[in-house]
Amino acid sequence: MMDSPRTAVSNPPVQPMETNLTPRDLVRRSATAELPPPERQLTPVAKLIDVSKCIGCKACQSACVEWNDTHPEIEENVGVYDNPHDLTENMFTLMRFTEWINPENDNLEWLIRKDGCMHCADPGCLKACPAPGAIVQYSNGIVDFIHENCIGCGYCVKGCPFNIPRISKVDHRAYKCTLCSDRVAVGQGPACAKACPTQAIVFGTKEDMKSHAEERITDLKSRGYENAGLYDPPGVGGTHVMYVLHHADKPHIYANLPDDPKISGIVQAWKGVTKYVGLAAMGVAAAGAVLHGIFGKANKVQPEDEENAEKLVDAAEGRKEDA
Amino acid sequence: MNVDLSRRSFLKLAGAGVAATSLGAMGFGEAEAAEAAHVRPFKLTTTTETRNTCPYCSVACGIIIYSKGDLRKGETADIVHIEGDVDHPTNRGTLCPKGAALKDFVKSPTRLQYPMHRKPGADKFERISWDEALDGIARRMKDDRDANFVAANAKGIAVNRWSTVGMLAASATTNETAWATFKFAKSLGMVGFDNQARV
Amino acid sequence: MSISKDVLPGDAIHRGPPVTVNRYGPAKRINHWITATCLILLLLSGLALFHPSLFFLTGLFGGGQNTRMLHPWIGVVLFVSFFILFAQLWRANLPNRVDVQWVSQINDVVAGHEEKLPEIGKYNAGQKFIFWGMAFFIIVLIGSGLMIWDQYFGESTPILLRRIAVLVHSVSAVLIIMLFILHVYAAIWTRGTLSAMTRGTVTGGWAWRHHRKWLKELAGRGRIDPAE
Amino acid sequence: MTNAWTDIKNTDLVVVMGGNAAEAHPCGFKWVTEAKAHRGAKLIVVDPRYTRTASVSDYYAPIRQGTDIAFLNGVMKYCIDNGKVQWEYMKAFTNASYIVKDGFAYKDGLFTGYDPEKRDYDKSSWDYVLGEDGFVTTDPTLAHPRCVWNLLKDHLAPYTPEMVERICGTPKEKFLKVAEMISECSTPTKTMTSMYALGWTQHSSGSQNIRAMAMLQLILGNIGVRGGGMNALRGHSNIQGLTDLGLMSHLLTGYLTMPSEKDETFETYMSTRLFKPLRPGQTSYWQNYKKFMVSFQKAMWGDFARADNDWAFNYLSKLDVPSYDVLRMFELMYDGKVNGYICQGFNPILAFPNRDKNTKALSNLKWLVTMDPLETETARFWENHGDFNPVDTAAIQTEVFQLPTTCFAEEEGSLTNSGRWLQWHWAGGTPPGEAKHDTWIIAQIFLRLRDLYRKEGGAFPDPVVNLSWDYADPNEPTPEELAKEINGRALTDLMDPADPTKMLVPAGKQVLNFSQLRDDGSTMSGCWIYSGCFNEQGNNMARRDNHDPDETGAYLGWTFAWPLNRRTLYNRASCDLQGKAWDPTRKIIEWDGTKWSGYDVPDIAPNAKPEDVGPFIMNQEGTARLFTRGLMRDGPFPAHMEPFESPVANVFNPKMRGNPVARVFQTDAAQLGQSDEFPYAATSYRLTEHFHFWTKHNRVNAALQPEFFVEISEELASEKGIEKGGWVRVWSKRGSVKAKALVTKRIRPLICDGKTVHVVGIPLHWGFTGAAKKGFGPNSLVPFVGDANIETPESKAFLVNIEPTTPPQEGIA
């Protein structure tokens, strides 16, 4: 029975259970400088998406909607299979379809990539977030949005190297894949991974997922995909959602998956140097003003100035009267 | 009957899978001090589980229906979630995009709730009672059968054919319903009786 | 030519003693204070989102969600308010040759040796700098702000542009805040200035000392009312 | 399916042709990805479109729809020419060595005996040479020029790679690559599985499509083995069950057949069904037909079915035509010869060909009853929805009763999956409003009718008033009661025939399985092939032991599979003539010198000696048929036939249109289009996001695939000035639809017989009810012709034209 990798080994519990992801398991918390180190280190987890096994059926989308009780809109057909057309606050994951002609053999390949939060080890969203505790990272690698703390500013959207979070137009909070933190907390895998018919999506410890990926890559190489490989981009410290790609040498062909994602330099500048230099500059300016005020001599109007003014006015009046 | 199943034996069976090792390693199972909810509360807690089969294609994936309320205790059961049954040998908990959204089929706004009747030429349905519907249908069937039944052919051989009323049987009803339907249709001599397998 | 630029409608001298000069009418003063209030609110709400240590400032606005919601609207009010002011004052703030002289003698300015400086019209180069700086940064801030106003315009610009916008917005914010500090400080340091925006008048001595050309022009054009 | 879904993991090569398993059966397709991941299996997809199945294939070859026979015949020829045949299997387990009568021949696309007037064959020459002993004459050396093998080779001779390219449009090198990959599976240790669905059945020559692949599988030795077989991926959750239970015009339960007018008496009926073995010592299991038939009659009419009234044989209808299939019924309806119609969960207005005709047919009814959990277009066929249903409501005099039924989640019972597993499920939710179980509704109508017949009398009331209906609550039989009736029970004490003192089953107890059924009226069973599903051991359909010793994929403890809990049909063929597994690593059963045993229930008598008894026990021959005698209407070998609407003529006989023996009604013949007016080859299909016309009611699935579209190549789009996402009109001789255009690289023009053929793909999930955007179905365009043997409509290959257009109008015109 266990020859097939699959996410679920048991059905979800219905008896009350303690959650296994608590505030004490946080390793990062947005806009929070002093976070006490966690008492324990959870084993890092990961979702592995084997693009070569994916049949683009959108079961992941369906399961995601059902589990998270979201309500994606019924849009129009615009001549593509990608529906909804983009990630939304009601659609945390999306199959993106690309028709790609392999220049090496002129064969068509239909590349189908499940897009969604990558759960970066170095999360740009969390870095960008100004609201304390709105974005957290657990020691198992899950990056989660705590909606009560979210102010809806959209900074996470700018911070994300993969353009994932979306802000709800209704409650003005940011939404994205939680890696089903509520399920993981009771020992279940994410809804998408559980549903995935071909188990192109699997979930487990990051280490297991990496070794499973190795098997898949070996299989793909045996089928002629010489550049098959794992997408676990170091630019963001690695991710807790990884891809097996048949063409790992060119991730961009998979609906613009970034070749070498990093937190944008602009965002780094904004949340780094600008923040500190800016604060410093403003502080210096304010302090300078105060110091100058205290130690400098105020520019006071002198009695002779008043007299001169009066004279001027009188002279002018005089001219007026003379006229 | 349907819930006391082989979950435990199955788990034992499940030795070497990727996930089997993974989930244990995640620290699941360690007792935790109660703390303010951080992740979303697990929504299936205290629901009732019922084993069922996906009604779409004939892969016939095992599913579990989660409801508030238990039919077996005579309660009203409101379905809150449907998910693949991990114990099922074919689908092993997985579901396709249709199966994964079964709850929304059950809860579809276009689910029918009452018998309706459209009069000849009318531009709308009107609600009627079950008795009105069933009496009306039986009456019409009887009248037509009595008028158009072919008892015998030219040679005088009994042929027992009623071809002026036909029936299409469903493709997603249970075998038991199908058997009851079969008895009903064939005993009436209804020859124009077919099912979705034809198309 | 310069006369028409420096003397604005409403500017007038009241005979003393002491001599007072109308510098800003009630409409302009209200306008200024709306702008100033907006700027302060924007400063507070913006700083709240700028650095985690200042996030507590969201409390002033009823929480983070409200702060996020209010900030851009205040920005719109500020933009409108400021540019009504701008429309009235821009001509008086056009730079001229005297400004070059003034800037070249900035040491004398800071040291308060105004007697060494040329006679100044309604605005000196420093005030003009603040005026144009404010105008520039407000345009930049409203432009970049709209791009990152996700509630309404989130999807209308590409993500790269939005990232640039957020950086530009915060850098501009820092600079406008510094400008603001300079403006406030200058107003305080130059005693007698505040009354221009409170009562609308300055003393004749203040005008003589700091804006002698303006005062002379007013006097020269006969904009003198009898003392009350 | 001959095998189970879980068995597909044992294969070495998956051929998906005539189907789109990844999209239509994703969770079953899992086992393909398992075979790929763990056995290094390869996947071949042959399809007019590069589907989502193709996206994970190892090799894809395009084909023009409706030309599969030519392709498969070409592969068979390739295998035979290159010696890629599992000789031992083929010789022993097929009728290759049987001698065929002189006179049988094939010429100009037709077999011997064609009568163009009747559109039928005189099949008398399509038969074996029988010896004086009544057995078929054979030549085990295969040297005889009239043996099946040599006739087959002659028949396949024209199907060269060049000919395949000419007919199918498959580039020769792609065809050869596929043929080569398939031919590798001729060794005993390599198997191939065929996964097909409506891509093969919905053709006027659909049955022959499947035969061609079955023959290829027999030549390669892939039937009855693990990871092999012919796997029909059935479309609905219980379409298998409803067919098994005979809810079809020409069937009774368990593939017993309805009597025809020729079957004047029970004796004549039985005489044509008790097939005697055609080879010495063979099983020919249908010799037990009478046991099943009598038990069936007893299940229907109990004490009213007695030996002295021929088991109430006269209660059954006798057909005057081969079947009153849906096409015939709608033709009759169209002609005003049908007054009432009951649709129990079916949506013919979108499912049957030629929607315009269907609408007119339904408008001719006096009354229509629909039973469904959801709104259907059929129940509202009279409602005007602008362009989407442009009917004159006031002119439609049909009375409609719309009855709300429960759905799967609110009812209990068993469903039979594609792999023949009968799986029990339980009710988990309270039905909405006044929705009722189907069994309650059927029982209510039945009881009312029975009362009326009891009170008023009327036309032949006997079968109705005497129908067995002894349920605890006649108002609603329980699923258990019905299941037990299907299984069957002893009516009197059943004694062991070998030892008359030994009681096998006491009266009133459930029979163990169909082996205990008798032809003397002492047993009853609703459906013999299901017997064993609910016996004295309990409800076997509810079993949930998911152990799988040695991971063969059998799962014998999981629910119940018919027949006799057997998971792989013909599994005797997994062993050689000595009874040893062809592939020891893939053993299913084996002969231990005295009996058969193994991982599965043997598909042969447990003590039948391997060298004596053939594995195909349902056949009179004991072997599988490469040559089917007269059992199929359109020929004993599969021959290339064009669809009725084809962009090119039949290369073997340009005058021949479609399947020469398929039934075509007069009005429909006039509505067949020509390729000059309708130049593009259309095909219909479903998409993975939707299930027929159900999930458009579901907001989630509606969001995943919201709106009707057609798929065309970039070449056709530029030729016609069609933009991606723009509106197009697609029309055939029978109707017109408007759709969004999905312009794709996944469909490329094919060159067939020197002509460029553009394919237009039309998915089928939209209508005018539900949550998704209003749309059309391909059935508006499909011709009203069916398969020659089984009358399945030709929905997969027809002709259309296409042009850019304006959006459809919703409002009432």
Encode pLDDT of A244-279 as tens digits: 999 999 999 999 999 999 998 888 888 888 888 998
Domain identity same for A290 and A221: no
- CATH code, B7-106: 2.20.25.90
Two tokens at B67?
A: 């409801």
For residues C48 and C44, what is the distance between their CA atoms, to the nearest angstrom?
A: 6
Rounded Cα distance between D694 and D696, Å, is 6
Identify the CA nearest to D776 among candidates D724, D712, D708, D727: D708
The amino acid sitting at D752 is C
Is residue A242 domain-shared with residue A284, that is, in the same domain? no
First to last CA, chain D: 48
Segment 711-740 of chain D within 8 Å of chain A by CB? 723-726, 740
Determine the structural domain holding residue A184 and report its residue range.
23-263
CB D460 within 8 A of CB D316: no
A283: in domain:
yes
D228 assigned to some structural domain:
yes
Span of A132-136, A287-291, B31-35, D423-427 with lowest mean pLDDT: B31-35
Domain that holds residue D133: 5-232
Mean pLDDT of D468-489: 98
Residue D308 falls inside a structural domain: no
Q: Can you say whether the dihedral through the CA atoms of C148, C153, C158, C159 is positive or negative?
A: positive
- Does residue D508 fall inside a structural domain? no
Quote the CA–CA distance of B26 and A188 in Å, as a whole number.
10
- Whether residues A181 and A300 fall in one domain: no
* H runs (alpha helix) in A160-302: 181-184, 191-195, 206-222, 265-269, 275-295
Band the pLDDT of C208: cuts 50, 70, 90: confident
Mean pLDDT calculated for residue range D108-126: 97
Is the pLDDT assigned to residue D257 strictly greater than 90?
A: yes
Segment D459-479 shows an average pLDDT of 98
Beta strand D680-685 with D759-763 is parallel
Q: Is B73 near chain D, with CB under 8 Å?
A: no
CB D680 within 8 Å of CB D759: yes
Contacts 24+ apart (CB under 8 A), D455-459: D456/B142, D458/B142, D458/B145, D458/B146, D459/B145, D459/B146, D459/B149, D459/B151, D459/B162
Residue C226 has pLDDT above 70, yes or no: no
Q: In this structure, are A172 and A97 located in the same domain? A: yes
Residue D50 lies in a domain: yes
pLDDT at B97: 98
Within a domain: A2: no
- Residue D812 confidence (pLDDT): 60
Mean pLDDT over residues D724-730, rounded?
A: 98
Q: D563 versus A307: which is more confidently predicted?
A: D563
| Separation between Cα atoms, residue A154 and residue A185, nearest integer Å | 27
Closest of D374, D392, D460 to residue D697, by C-alpha:
D374
Average pLDDT over residues D457-470: 97
- The amino acid sitting at A73 is E
How far apart CA A221 and CA A200 sit, in angstroms, is 17
Residue ending a domain, among D200, D232, D264, is: D232
- Give the CA distances from residue A87 to residues A94, A164, C156, D182, in Å, rounded to whole numbers and listed in that order: 6, 7, 15, 42
Judge whether D425 and D808 are in contact, CB under 8 Å: no
DSSP letter at A270 equals I
Let me know if residue A15 belongs to a domain: no
Q: Quick one: pLDDT at residue B149?
A: 98
Task: Annotate D115-138 with b (16+ C-beta within 10 A) or e (fewer).
Answer: eeeeebbebebbbbeeeeeebbbb
Which residue spans of chain B are classified as CATH 2.20.25.90? 7-106
Count: domains in chain D: 2
Percent of chain B with pLDDT over 90: 77
Instruction: Enumerate the residues of chain D whose CB falls inside 8 A of the CB of residue B177.
Output: 411, 413, 437-439, 442, 482
* Nearest residue, CB atoms, C17 vs list A169, A264, A310: A310
Measured between CA atoms, the residue of chain D closest to residue A112 is D55
Per-residue confidence (pLDDT) for residue C209, from 0 to 100: 86
pLDDT of res. A298? 82
The whole-number pLDDT of residue B32 equals 34
Q: What angle do CA D18, D22, D26 make, to 5 degrees?
A: 125
Query: H/E element holding D741?
Result: strand D736-744
**One domain, residues A258 and A284:** no
On whether both A36 and A120 belong to a single domain, the answer is yes
- Burial zone of C44 (CB within 10 Å; 0-12 exposed, 13-18 middle, 19+ buried): middle
Please list every residue in chain A whose beta carbon sits closer than 8 Å to the beta carbon of residue B20. 2, 9
User: Within this chain, do residues A97 and A126 fall inside the same structural domain, yes or no?
Assistant: yes
pLDDT at D800: 98
Place of tokens 């709608």: D330
Residues in chain A: 323
Q: Which residue has the higher pLDDT, B102 or C208?
A: B102
User: What's the pLDDT at D233?
Assistant: 95
Below-70 pLDDT ranges, chain A = 1-7, 319-323
Q: Residue C35 above 80 pLDDT?
A: yes
Residue of C11, C50, C172 for testing the chain A interface, max A β-carbons within 10 Å: C50
Q: Which two tokens mark D772?
A: 């998704």
Q: Which two tokens stand for residue D593?
A: 């010198």
pLDDT tens profile D503-543 = 999 999 999 999 999 999 999 999 999 999 999 999 999 99
Q: Judge whether B101 is closer than 8 Å to chain A, CB to CB.
A: yes
Q: What's the first-to-final CA gap in chain C, in angstroms?
A: 32
Give the CATH number, domain containing residue D730. 2.40.40.20
Residue D545, domain member (yes or no): no
Residue of C68, C115, C162, C224 to mutate, interface with A, max A Cβ within 10 Å: C68
pLDDT at position C172 over 60:
yes
D703 touches chain A (CB under 8 A): yes
- Per-residue pLDDT for B12 more than 90? no
Tell me which residue in C65, C148, C177 faces A282 most closely, judged by beta carbons. Answer: C177
Residue scoring higher pLDDT (C188 or A320): C188
Is A53 close to D551, i.e. CB distance below 8 A?
no
Confidence of residue B173 (pLDDT cuts 50, 70, 90): very high
**Does residue A7 form part of some domain?**
no
Cβ neighbours, 10 Å, residue D723: 13
Domain assignment of residue A3, yes or no: no
Q: Report which DSSP code applies to A271.
A: I
Residue C177: C-alpha distances to residues C33, C37, C128, C181, D67 (Å): 16, 13, 16, 6, 76
Q: Which residues of C touch A307 (CB under 8 A)?
A: 205
The alpha carbon of residue D31 is apart from the nearest alpha carbon of chain A, in Å, by 8
Residue C227 confidence (pLDDT): 52
Any domain includes A318: yes
Runs of H (alpha helix) within D457-528:
462-465, 479-487
C-beta atoms surrounding C63 within 10 Å: 13
Q: What angle do CA D283, D287, D288 make, to 5 degrees?
A: 110
Mark whether A252 and A114 lie in a shared domain: yes
Domain assignment present for residue A159? The answer is yes
Query: Which CA distances in Å does A320 have to A67, A315, D625?
Result: 87, 8, 129
Which residues in B lie closer than 8 A to residue D316 (C-beta atoms)?
160, 186
Q: What is the CATH number of the domain that holds D183?
A: 3.40.228.10
Mean confidence (pLDDT) of chain D: 97
Name the pLDDT band for C222 (thresholds 50, 70, 90).
confident
Angle between helices C125-147 and C64-89 (to 10 degrees): 140
Tell me whether the omega of the peptide bond preceding residue A84 falls within 30 degrees of 0, making it cis. Answer: yes
Cα C111 to chain centroid distance, Å, stands at: 23
CA distance D199 to D206: 9
Q: Is the dihedral of CA D419, D423, D428, D434 positive or negative?
A: positive
Beta bridge partners of D108: none
Distance of CA D741 to the CA centre of its chain: 32
A275 and A259 share a domain? no
Domain-embedded: residue A18: no
Rounded-to-integer distance, Cα D539 and Cα B195, Å: 26
Q: Are residues A143 and A245 in the same domain?
A: yes
Which residues of C are part of the catalytic machinery? 183
Give the whole-number percent of chain B exceeding pLDDT 70.
81
Instruction: Using CB atoms within 10 Å of the CB of residue D75, give its burial: 0 to 12 exposed, 13 to 18 middle, 19+ buried.
Output: buried
Q: What is the Cα A85 distance to its own chain's centre?
A: 19
Number of domains in chain A: 2
- The residue among D208, D232, D256 that closes a domain is D232
Q: Which of D197, D215, D232 is the last residue of a domain?
A: D232
pLDDT at D108: 95
ipTM (interface pTM): 0.93
Number of residues in chain B:
199
Q: Are residues A64 and A177 in the same domain?
A: yes
Task: Look up tokens 């604005």; give the residue.
Answer: C8
* pLDDT above 90: residue C14: no
Average pLDDT over residues D338-353: 95
Residues in chain C: 228
How do D680-685 and D589-591 pair as beta strands?
Answer: unpaired
B160 interaction partners in chain D (CB closer than 8 Å): 314-318, 460, 463
D328: buried, middle or exposed (CB in 10 Å: 19+, 13-18, 0-12)?
buried
Tokens of A230: 């794992």
Assigned token pair, A69 = 């009780």
Half-sphere exposure (Cβ direction) of D777: Cα atoms closer than 13 Å: 29
As a whole number of angstroms, the distance between CA A74 and CA D444 comes to 40
Position D443 pLDDT exceeds 60: yes
Are D160 and D153 in contact by the 8 Å Cβ rule? The answer is no
